[in-house]
Amino acid sequence: MSCFPPSKRGQDVMEGGGRSKEVVGKRGGFMDEHEKQRQLSKLLVNVNIEKSLGPVKMLMSPENTVCDLIKASIEIYVKEKRRPLLDGTDPRCFELHYSQFSLQRLKPDEKLMNLGSRNFFLCLKSAVTASSSDQAKDS
């Protein structure tokens, strides 16, 4: 049973529900960008670890940094006993990239809400520097 009278119900459906598509803030007015960001409490983040078969999925706060994400993804990978085993678990030995094809690494102090992506690639620092130096020699 609906809260609206039959005539009002049909009219809302035909008109798209009036303000139903618009986001209303706590005070009854429209939300600005700051209020929208405050409401965002968790982000679903996927991190593909080098040579791993599938991504590590986790919920992270948008206020967390890239360094926090690296640490959490390594902890989950080790806890789930995924293969291949990691050579080391020190988060300082890893770099986070937007993809495995991106040479640009993300800054460790960057906040997750500022990155614009929720899918990342994690690899050892030495592997990236070695592969980039090999590419430079081939050129």
Which pLDDT score, from 0 to 100, does residue 20 have?
42
Q: How far apart are CA 17 and CA 64, in angstroms?
A: 37
Whether residue 77 has pLDDT greater than 90: yes
Domain boundaries, the chain: 41-138
Given a contact cutoff of 8 angstroms between Cβ atoms, the answer to whether 98 and 112 are in contact is no
One of 3.10.20.90, 3.20.20.30, 3.40.50.1360, 3.30.530.20 is the CATH number of 41-138, namely 3.10.20.90
* Residue 76 near residue 58, CB atoms below 8 Å: yes
Q: Which tokens go with 62?
A: 């948008």
34-61 pLDDT, tens digit each: 666 566 689 999 999 999 999 999 999 9
Q: Residues of 15-53 as b/e, b for ≥16 C-beta within 10 angstroms?
A: eeeeeeeeeeeeeeeebeeeeeeeeeeebebebbbbeee
Share of the chain above pLDDT 70, in %: 61
Per-residue confidence at 106, pLDDT binned at 50, 70, 90?
A: very high
The stretch 71-92 carries a mean pLDDT of: 94
Residue 58 pairs in a beta bridge with 45
